[in-house]
Amino acid sequence: MLTEHDIYLFKEGTHARLYDKLGCHLGERDGAAGAHFALWAPNAQSVAAIGDWNGWDAHAYPLKLRADGSGIWEGFVPGVAQGQAYKYRIESRVGAYRVDKADPFGFFAEAPPRTASRAWGLEYA
């Protein structure tokens, strides 16, 4: 989903449409419905997309760090449907600190006291 031009603009600090690239974006890949996830976490040791579709299992769908030095982790997760709750499980390189975080680019979030993001598309008729 992220092109070389997107990474160039991101590193330059001038990408004006990051919401189109980062976060959770519902779609298909190889005929399977799911979502593409992308998150900037430059100090992470590992990042995983966790949610309703995988029982919040951090080992099921780890994201991969891009090799371009951007600090962006990304991956496609099959089986994600609109409305499902999700977070990112982030393990820091510093002290093996682990935390579950909501999506800073999420289009939909749960109401307090719940804190997860919800997979959501912006399409409408």
Q: Report pLDDT digits (tens) over 116-125.
A: 999 998 887 7
In a domain, 123, yes or no: no
Q: What is the rounded average pLDDT of the residues 69-85?
A: 96
Predicted confidence band of residue 95 (pLDDT cuts 50, 70, 90): confident
CATH of the domain at 114: 2.60.40.10
Closest to 39 in 3D by CA, of 84, 79, 75, 93: 75
**Cβ-contact 56, 42 below 8 angstroms:** no
| Gyration radius (Cα) of the chain, Å | 14
Dihedral-angle region of residue 79 (phi above 0 means left; psi in -120 to 50 means alpha; beta otherwise): left
Predicted confidence band of residue 48 (pLDDT cuts 50, 70, 90): very high
In a domain, 125, yes or no: no
In a domain, 77, yes or no: yes
Domain that holds residue 31: 4-118
**Number of domains forming the structure of the chain:** 1
Q: What local confidence, expressed as pLDDT, does residue 125 receive?
A: 73
Biggest alpha carbon distance in the chain? 48
In a domain, 42, yes or no: yes
Q: What local confidence, expressed as pLDDT, does residue 1 receive?
A: 80
In a domain, 124, yes or no: no
At position 19, the amino acid (one-letter code) is Y
